Structure 1
Amino acid sequence: MDYRAAQEIKKLVLERLRKESSSRTPLSQQAKEQRGRHLINEQVAIWSDTQGLSTGGAVSQGAEQELAALAFDMCFRAGRLQRYLDSELVEDIWIEGFERVFLKYSGQRDPVRVARVADSEEELQETVRDLIRASGQGGRTFSTYSPDVELRLPDGSRLQALGPDITGGSTHVTIRRHRYLDVDLGKLVGLGMLGEDAADLLAAAVRGRFNVMVAGEQASGKTTMLRALLREIRPSERFGTLETTFEGLADPAYHEHVVPMEARQSNGERIGGAAAGEITLMDLMLRAKRMSLSRVVVGEVRGPEITAMMQAMTSDRPGNMCTIHASEPGAVFDRIAELYLLAQANFTPELAYRQIANGLHLVAFLSVDDSGEAPRRYLSHIWEITGIAHDGRPAHNEIFGPADGIDGPAVPKGALSDVKRRRLERAGMTSSLLSDQALAYLNRRPM
């Protein structure tokens, strides 16, 4: 494949489209791609004639089609990356400088090194800028002044790029794929991520307007779980989703009145000490209060927005949900307290603990077991928050937990408080966590 020829065709075609758009009514994206394909074919024909004259032989039709397809991907899709994005088996793409590209396949633990997607650092950085342009998120930049960017690709994948000013010499790009966009709790049960009893409880918790936090390790399936929980919200209910980068939490074809909100990065400039053009999750939390929403769902809390999230759980209508990174269930409360301290100097862990006790109802924790040939993601704990303990920390009941008390998929471990149980049963929970089987397990009695 003549990658240099594809790059040159891309530049000629985009420049032609830019000039045409300035002198006529702007084309729709579909029409622009159709026009671009026509211009690409013209340029490929010119290239083919030139190659034939220089080599003394005709260029095959297959070579022309491959060059045209690559030039089209460079203009309107993900360039040389597209072949990897087109594979449903690829979970993650790691680019560590222009010469090192690795794919993480579903069902495999170790990454596989593959062909490069750029021939220089400059071309790799240009590829990132092309992806920004193709994604329609023009407010984001990738340059010396803004050497990192988080981006949503058209297929829903999430890209994070770090420039050499951050990494010390080479551009690093990570692309995380979302294999399960159309998912519900039943599908997760079928995949072995959780059992039917736990799914029944979580479904009733959403319908019964419990405040739920999905916590877990990195890449443990928190977003997938949150996406499944949203399917338990009535299609006609009006709620909002707040995300750093859109990951398709709610399906607008299913939820009729979802209000999606996305944070925006600064353009790299600062005005009066503030980042110009930046819209944070905290900003979005404040805007959400004026949108007549029945509940708020935050894709991931990882900064000062935790305070607004917990305030929503304690002062607004219940039913709010979010995800948070934590290494183990016992670290969730301290993780929230840590974010409180980062949010404002006069906030204290005691304040965070009170907010948790007063506003949070359930914590669902997800774990990853990568000891086998393929990583296994599963629900390992469900905790019911029951107030403040004697030591001032949030008190909880472990409703589900690992069978051995250390790690592993969640099994019934304890009883819900009477009030929450009645609320869940009213919301449709049918399984009994105090069945003979559960009692026998809890009392260590043989069945």
Structure 2
Amino acid sequence: MLIRKAKPAPTPSQAPTPVDDEVQKVASSRTQQVAKSETPGMVNRRLLRSFLYDQIDPLKAAAMSRDKLLAQIETQIRRICDEKRLQLSRNEEEQIATEVLDEMLGIGPIQPLLADESVNDILVNGAKLVFVERFGKLELTPITFLDEEHVFNTAQRIAAGVGRRIDEAHPMVDARLADGSRVNIITYPLALDGTTISIRKFMRRNLTLEALAARQAMSYEMVEVLERAMVAKLNIIVSGGTGAGKTTLLNALSQKIDDTDRIVTIEDAAELQMQQIHVVRLETRPVSAEGTGKVDQRDLVRNALRMRPDRIILGEVRGGESFDMLQAMNTGHDGSLCTVHANTPRDTILRLENMVMMAGMQLPLEAIRRQIASAVHMIVQVERQRDGMRRIVSITEVCGMENDVIQTQELFGFQLRSVDANGKLIGDFVASGQRPQFYSAHAHLFGGA
């Protein structure tokens, strides 16, 4: 049975801390505010959940199978409804049983969204607003939490599951769920309208360049150029905004890497899905609650250089690690890949310049530009456009320096022609007519083409 034993009286060592007292004050205030707007049915549901959680022994529940646990929860719900005379329909009882099960084994009301393959992002804005992104567009779901405390408890459970804590003293958490999905949590006092949970789902489908072309994210001519760029071991930067599909494209490019290459990947949250057998995956570590133990991307890039990599793949460049990455690209680690947040290929170069300056190396701007021009061979710009489609809007080759200016040439671009009745953008992937410079330098790899 699930019924837990009576709780022993608290010992002095379990006395609440000042932070705990403050949490309880805030929790009480939130509960009072929500209670004013509750209907009788909502009150019954909340009371039933409260009685049910008091009865459940988590240790016994953890040892049960999902089906047996669900049956036990349903039995307890019916018993509590009879004893407490709570008026709930059979459908409401079954719904509560499923919700409780999801909270015990998953992440509450939003657990079904994790299993929905069409959902890319889950965005919880307080108790009553849960949004998802499907096919590039945000939509409001009918899913809600009972109240702010329900959201906050779910957030605490997520944080505890990855060895972190979320409270007024630590109101922000970045973590990774067991399935690889990235989660960000921010709560009171920083989130004024309630605890906010943002989940970027780990997508299990690993698309190829050809599959992306079939989805009209690029043309097959662009696929050929990118394949040749990977064979020639060009250093490629994938550039784009948040949610544009940079990681998806990086995964697709990585499939063209030879199995004989030793690959080292560096990420804040592991998302890359390498298909090769010789892969070393590194992940940063955030600062601990005690303020120690932080390992950032720059530390990992430096360490990766001592690991005899053939290629380094950096999930996202955002700071001083850009200098170390450029150094690696310039010292024999050709074929390396990384992503950058930028809106155009030219913006990507400017961002790299600024990030190298952040490294504190005190280099003159001309020297920084020469480093970039020598290290970076190609910039692939990906964009989530207003119809929700993710497209490669530019493939740009870096052609060196001239008069202190980094020279580039666009090989392909997306040209918009019209918008159809459903709001879908109609356009073409147009070749500039420029022959890629790397074709000549690596003609032996392409049969002289």
- TM-score range (shorter-chain normalised) is 0.7 to 0.9
Which residue is 1:375 aligned to? 388
1:50 paired with 2:50, answer no
Q: Pick 1 or 2: higher relative contact order, CA cutoff 8 A, min separation 6.
A: 1
Which residue is 1:260 aligned to? 281
1:211 paired with 2:239, answer no
Which residue is 2:294 aligned to? 278
Which residue is 1:127 aligned to? 154
SS in 2 for 1:167: coil
How far apart are residue 228 of structure 1 and its match? 0.5
1:250 paired with 2:276, answer no
Give the % identical residues: 25
- Distance between the aligned counterparts of 1:293 and 1:54, measured in 2? 65
Q: Which of 427, 431, 436 in structure 2 is aligned with 1:412?
A: 431
- Unaligned 5+ segments in structure 2 are 1-41, 418-424
How far apart are residue 231 of structure 1 and its match? 1.0
Q: Is the 8 A contact 2:129 2:140 kept in 1?
A: no
1:396 paired with 2:439, answer no
SS in 2 for 1:382: strand
Which residue is 1:23 aligned to? none
Distance of aligned partners of 1:52 and 1:13 in 2 relative to their CA distance in 1, 3 Å threshold: closer
Distance of aligned partners of 1:5 and 1:153 in 2 relative to their CA distance in 1, 3 Å threshold: farther
- Distance between the aligned counterparts of 2:54 and 2:208, measured in 1? 43
Distance of aligned partners of 1:350 and 1:204 in 2 relative to their CA distance in 1, 3 Å threshold: same
1:295 paired with 2:311, answer yes
Q: Is the 8 A contact 2:74 2:97 kept in 1?
A: yes
How far apart are residue 312 of structure 1 and its match? 1.2
TM-score relative to the length of structure 2: 0.79
TM-score relative to the length of structure 1: 0.79
Which shifted more, 207-216 or 350-359?
350-359
| 1:7-49, Cα deviation, whole Å (9 max, x unpaired) | 665676574369xxxxxxxxxxxxx564576556435423321
Q: Which of 222, 226, 232 in structure 2 is aligned with 1:202?
A: 226
- Unaligned 5+ segments in structure 1 are 19-31, 271-275, 433-447
Q: Is the 8 A contact 1:52 1:59 kept in 2?
A: no
Aligned residues, how many? 398
How far apart are residue 76 of structure 1 and its match? 2.2
How far apart are residue 426 of structure 1 and its match? 4.1
Which shifted more, 158-167 or 48-57?
48-57
Which residue is 1:318 aligned to? 334
- Distance between the aligned counterparts of 1:385 and 1:410, measured in 2? 20
1:421 paired with 2:439, answer yes
- Distance between the aligned counterparts of 1:40 and 1:383, measured in 2? 55
Which residue is 2:398 aligned to? 385
* Aligned-residue RMSD, C-alpha: 3.1
Q: Is the 8 A contact 1:95 1:101 kept in 2?
A: yes
Q: Which of 145, 164, 170 in structure 2 is aligned with 1:117?
A: 145
Which shifted more, 327-336 or 338-347?
338-347
SS in 1 for 2:316: coil
Distance of aligned partners of 1:220 and 1:43 in 2 relative to their CA distance in 1, 3 Å threshold: closer
Aligned ranges for residues 310-349 of structure 1 at < 5 Å?
310-344=326-360, 346-349=362-365
- Distance between the aligned counterparts of 2:139 and 2:362, measured in 1? 45
Q: Is the 8 A contact 2:237 2:380 kept in 1?
A: yes
Q: Is the 8 A contact 2:135 2:389 kept in 1?
A: no
Q: Is the 8 A contact 2:411 2:436 kept in 1?
A: no
Q: Is the 8 A contact 1:94 1:175 kept in 2?
A: yes
How far apart are residue 58 of structure 1 and its match? 10
- Distance between the aligned counterparts of 1:366 and 1:56, measured in 2? 55
Aligned ranges for residues 425-440 of structure 1 at < 5 Å?
425-428=443-446
1:233 paired with 2:248, answer no
| 1:68-109, Cα deviation, whole Å (9 max, x unpaired) | 4322221221211112223222232222222322223226x4
Q: Is the 8 A contact 1:215 1:324 kept in 2?
A: yes
How far apart are residue 195 of structure 1 and its match? 0.7
Distance of aligned partners of 1:298 and 1:181 in 2 relative to their CA distance in 1, 3 Å threshold: farther
SS in 2 for 1:400: strand
How far apart are residue 302 of structure 1 and its match? 1.2
Q: Is the 8 A contact 2:234 2:334 kept in 1?
A: yes
Q: Which amino acid aligns with 2:245?
A: G
